[in-house]
Amino acid sequence: MPSQVEKPIQIRMSDTLFTAIRSSLDADVTRTYSNLVLYSSFGIVRGRISRLVTDNLNMSRDETLENNTSRVRIDPDVLELDDCEVEHYSNHLPTAHFKKLYIRIEDVQGFAFDITGN
């Protein structure tokens, strides 16, 4: 009997970010948001991600993706942040402030959590 070729398991790289966001919120169930720093292609983004945002997001609609490593339901393309500050890499652009910012995940090159802010 010929052996069946197993499909390779594919995990979106964004799952790491989404799982870390969820873990940061789960660490203290009284927290309603987490302070996040994103290193993007255009600058450094500081903002807050809400528990409400992460509770309603991230279900893979592609059966070829194994999504059992991520416990968050976030659209794989866009991340919603509140109360943001963007420090542009171009020094001729001023720092920008936004009440709400939507950033494409493909623009994110790194991330960190700001544990000093509440």
Is the pLDDT at 77 greater than 70, yes or no? yes
Helices (H) and strands (E) counted in the chain, each on its own, are: 2, 5
Mean pLDDT of 72-87: 78
Give residue for tokens 């509770």: 55
- For 3-23, write each residue's pLDDT tens digit: 667 777 666 657 788 888 888
Mean pLDDT of 16-37: 84
Res 17: pLDDT: 83
Burial-class residue 108 by CB neighbours within 10 Å (0-12, 13-18, 19+). Answer: middle
CATH class of 14-113: mainly beta
Read off the amino acid at residue 54: T
Is the pLDDT at 72 greater than 60, yes or no? no
Q: Highest-confidence range of 16-20, 34-38, 111-115, by mean pLDDT?
A: 34-38
Res 57: pLDDT: 52
